[in-house]
Amino acid sequence: MNKEIISGLVYNASLLLSISLIYILFFLKYDKKNIWRKIIAGVAIGFIGILLMENRIQLVQGIIFDTRSVLVSVTAMFFGFIPAFVAAVIIIIWRIIIGGSGTIMGVIVTLATFGIGLTWNKIRFKEILSQKSNVFIEFHLVSFISHLAMLMCTLALPKNMILIVLKQIAPSILLIYPIVSLILSLVLLDAYKKNQTRLELEESEVKYKKLYYEYQNQLTLLKTLINSVPDLIFYKDVNGAFVGCNSAFEKLAGKKEKDIIGFNDFNLFDKEMATLFTDIDKQTLIQNKSIINDEIVTYPDGTKVFLETLKTSYSNSDGTALGVIGISRDITERKKREEENLYLTYHDVLTGLYNRRFFEEQIEILNTKQQMPLSVIVGDINGLKLINDTLGHNEGDKLLTEAAKILKNCCEEESVVCRTGGDEFYILLPKTNNQGAKLIVDRIIKKCKEYSDEKDKETYYISIALGQSTKIKIEEPFEKVFKNAEELMYRIKLLEHKSIHSSIISSIKTTMFEKSNETEEHAERIAKLSRKLGENIGLNNEELNDLELVAMLHDIGKISVDGSILKKISQLTEDEWYEIRKHPEVGYRITNASQELMHISEYILCHHERWDGKGYPQGLSGTNIPLLSRILAIVDSYDAMTQDRGYKKAISKDDAILELLKNAGTQFDPDIVKIFVDELEHE
């Protein structure tokens, strides 16, 4: 083997290693999909090929020897088509420029090694990367094949030079070139694998950063969601120290999360509350299950709320408990509704007293030896039907409410005061004898009388018929005791019925005078004038008495009209007149509900009817209007005209007479007006 060939090969081999720099620094580092970078890489390798050819060994005239076959094949194997093609074109062009008898062989060698290297790139490159053994053999084999092809290309030389060239280059081509190719291939393969590792690390780093940012975003989202939840959320470690919470819990603690983390319940709440919380935490960790409890907590602003708290332990992957997660919900409104429902179950909605259900349950509870003697009081509101029928159920409800207050206030705290329905009230008195029960009955009666005598009160008159009885022995049936009390109450009610009705109507009349411009003096004046007019007309004594009574009570229905309307000075609205016009009907119902006043109720109903039929409430006309109502209408109008009222001044007697005569035959009965005017003129 020629020493010059070997020294040339060593130089060429060192020059070949420069392509590893292009591969590492230029080709692998950048995006391999960029075609311009591939072309530039091919140009650079092509110039290395030129350098190789410029450091050639001249075997015979026109025939040169260098390592471009190694350059082209390895470039095709590792760089791919474009860089290898560009480099091959440059090398072929330069070889043609050099010229000589070996030009054709040089071109064919370049093309052959390009083709073999590219074929390996397409078929074996990906597979060779996964191989951990036989890499040396494969690289050596492919290089050997490439250079065997190179030797075959000597056939393109002139025939007289083939054997000469083969003798000189064959040993180097078959022994040294494959080794050079192997070394270069291993260098590039190592560079490729290191680059792949770098890329994987970079990709891993990118993925890690992406995952990290996603994790941070998820944490932010989770924190936002937790903070948007109105429920209180918190988590502690196994030692009870807080490790996090949401905004709702911050409000309870009165601190920000950063000032809560690391502290325990005793640092945030009072001792009693903190002890409760920590005890439940311990139970949750020990039992390793969820625990629900209710507690009353106080916010920093003093607001007290009911919280329903669910606490659950949380663990790591091996099941070791790490702490407690708690979720607390404000159930104050729910508790209020539950209390309201419970209240409605055992209480009367109108009066606030206990109801029949509670009364019956209390009988079972109190009907024991320890509670003897056990007394019961049965009460019934007098006149409730009269008030409901005449003034409406609103006034009846006021009567019930005020009566309930009196009953409650007259009994001891241990007493069970119940409204069992309608106008019925029952009172259970444990450890109370009959004398004690009678004292309470007397106290209630006294309070009712005091209330009825008051001027400023919600209702007109309160009277309650009461009966009491006492159970002394446990063997005695309670039903019998209750029946005795009820019978006593009914006897008293029958005895007082007539006087009670009179008292209620009297109270209504008094209240009517108090709330309106109508005075008792006005009623007495028209009673006197009406009786005198009735005598002139020729009424008998019974009719005169009825007329006088009608005159006293004709406006009793105004009790149903709002006092502000009755005392209004300015002109009334249509709605206000509508309310005023209802008073004859109300007066009718009041008097018709009383046995002693029933006979005058129709006269009160008709005292605003007109002779021409344009009055109210029935639109009666002429003699269809009861006589006493016709008399009252004239006298009432005359007195109203001749007396000062809040909304107008009085007119003279003569002017009033003229007004009566003017309306005779339209508003008033003309015959009675004539008699009344004659009477007035002769006074």
More confident residue, 454 or 494: 454
Q: Please state whether beta strands 321-330 and 304-315 pair in parallel, antiparallel, or not at all (unpaired).
A: antiparallel
What is d(CA 75, CA 577) in angstroms, rounded to the nearest whole number?
Answer: 114
* pLDDT for position 609: 93
Residues 423, 452, 482, CA angle at the centre, nearest 5°? 35
Q: What is the pLDDT of residues 309-352, one digit of tens each?
A: 999 988 887 878 889 999 999 888 888 888 888 888 889 989 99
Same fold, 354-508 and 516-681: no
CATH hierarchy code of domain 3-200: 1.10.1760
* Residue 95: pLDDT over 80: yes
* pTM for the predicted model, two decimal places: 0.53
Which architecture characterizes domain 354-508 according to CATH?
A: 2-Layer Sandwich (3.30)
Matching CATH number, 229-336, of 3.40.630.30, 3.30.1330.60, 3.40.50.10860, 3.30.450.20: 3.30.450.20
Structure token digits, residue 132: 């951990």
Phi/psi of residue 158, each to 5°?
-60, 145
Structure token digits, residue 25: 């620094």
Task: Sketch the domain layout of the chain as residue ranges.
Answer: 3-200, 229-336, 354-508, 516-681
Q: Please state whether beta strands 63-65 and 57-60 pair in parallel, antiparallel, or not at all (unpaired).
A: antiparallel
Torsion sign over Cα 527, 528, 529, 531? positive
**CA 320, chain centre distance (Å):** 37
Q: What is the pLDDT of residues 215-240, one digit of tens each?
A: 788 878 888 888 888 888 999 999 99
* pLDDT for position 1: 42
Model confidence band, residue 404 (pLDDT cutoffs 50, 70, 90): very high
- Coil, helix or strand at residue 383: coil
CA-based R_g, the chain, Å? 60
More confident residue, 646 or 378: 378
CATH hierarchy code of domain 516-681: 1.10.3210.10
* Residue 61: pLDDT over 70: no
What is d(CA 342, CA 91) in angstroms, rounded to the nearest whole number?
Answer: 103
* pLDDT for position 427: 94
The amino acid at 54: E
Contacts 24+ apart (CB under 8 A), 653-657: 653/680, 657/681
Q: What is the pLDDT of residues 148-201, one digit of tens each?
A: 888 888 888 888 888 887 887 788 778 877 888 888 878 878 777 887 787 788
Phi/psi of residue 293, each to 5°?
-145, 155
Residues in the chain, how many?
683
Distances (CA, A) of 241 to 121, 302, 583: 64, 25, 75
* Residue 25: pLDDT over 80: no
Q: Mean pLDDT for the chain?
A: 83
Distances (CA, A) of 244 to 218, 250, 261: 16, 10, 6
